[in-house]
């Protein structure tokens, strides 16, 4: 019995060190060597300052920036509180939020159909992308606010639109942070997110 107990304790210690310490360190080290950008969260920098990640959405409220889709993660794009709202389609809070967003968007672009991803949150609440249709919907506001042509804004949207992977996986998408950073290069605007 004593021999079995010692064996069990030693196996627990060995496997804990191997799989709880050494294996994660080796995998982390390999990731840092082989894929350093991805291993560190695909951070985007501007003038030596980290401004965000390609993987996590941000809230942009200034009219001179493309707006992300709504987020229900914590207080909005909170990576520590990633989740959907879990509100059902008859929940009055959800109905009020969607109606408020729809009214605001309709006032921004009267008569235009509002793309669904500007009204709905993603499952994680952290989605950094919008559809090309959602970007197109916002083009007139961006062009007016920045004092540039709609064609210049559309060209930036096209340049930052990623197509389906392998031609059939996923949907076309536009990374909002990357697009807004590109717009700052084209027509600088004070940052007021």
Structure tokens at 139: 């083009």
Q: What integer pLDDT is reported at residue 189 of this predicted model? A: 64
User: Which residue, chain included where needed, has tokens 């997110």?
Assistant: 193
Q: Tell me: the pLDDT tens digits for 130-181?
A: 999 999 999 999 999 999 999 999 999 999 999 999 989 989 999 999 999 9
User: Nearest to residue 178, comparing CAs of 39, 55, 40, 61?
Assistant: 55
Give the angle 137-140-142 at the CA atoms, nearest 5°.
100
Q: Tell me: the pLDDT tens digits for 44-70?
A: 878 888 888 888 888 888 889 999 988
Question: Is the per-residue pLDDT at 191 higher than 50?
Answer: no
Q: Where are the alpha helices (DSSP H) in the chain?
A: 2-17, 23-34, 36-39, 92-108, 132-146, 150-159, 176-186
CA pair distance 100, 124, nearest whole angstrom: 22
Q: At 115, is the pLDDT very low, low, confident or very high (cuts 50, 70, 90)?
A: very high
- Count of helix runs (H) and strand runs (E) in the chain: 7, 5
Question: Is the per-residue pLDDT at 9 higher than 90?
Answer: yes
Question: What is the model's pTM?
Answer: 0.76
Q: What integer pLDDT is reported at residue 82 of this predicted model? A: 75
What secondary structure letter does DSSP report for 40? Answer: T
> What is the β-pairing status of strands 43-46 and 129-130?
unpaired
CA pair distance 87, 96, nearest whole angstrom: 12
Q: Tell me: the pLDDT tens digits for 132-142?
A: 999 999 999 99
Q: Tell me: the pLDDT tens digits for 80-89?
A: 777 777 788 8
């Amino acid at each position: 019995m004593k021999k079995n107990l010692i064996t069990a304790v030693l196996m627990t210690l060995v496997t804990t060190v191997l799989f709880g310490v050494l294996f994660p360190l080796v995998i982390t080290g390999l990731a840092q060597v082989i894929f350093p950008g991805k291993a560190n969260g695909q951070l985007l920098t501007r003038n030596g300052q980290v401004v965000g990640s390609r993987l996590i959405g941000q809230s942009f409220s200034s009219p001179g920036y493309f707006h992300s889709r709504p987020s229900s993660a914590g207080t909005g794009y909170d990576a520590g509180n990633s989740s959907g709202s879990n509100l059902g389609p008859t929940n009055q809070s959800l109905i009020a939020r969607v109606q408020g967003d729809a009214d605001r968007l309709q006032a921004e672009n009267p008569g235009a159909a509002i793309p669904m991803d500007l009204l709905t949150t993603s499952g994680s609440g952290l989605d950094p992308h919008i559809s090309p249709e959602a970007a197109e919907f916002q083009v007139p506001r961006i062009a007016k606010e920045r004092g540039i042509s709609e064609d210049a804004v559309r060209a930036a949207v096209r340049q930052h639109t990623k197509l389906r992977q392998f031609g059939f996986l996923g949907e076309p998408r536009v990374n909002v942070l990357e697009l807004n950073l590109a717009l700052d290069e084209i027509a600088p605007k004070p940052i007021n997110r």
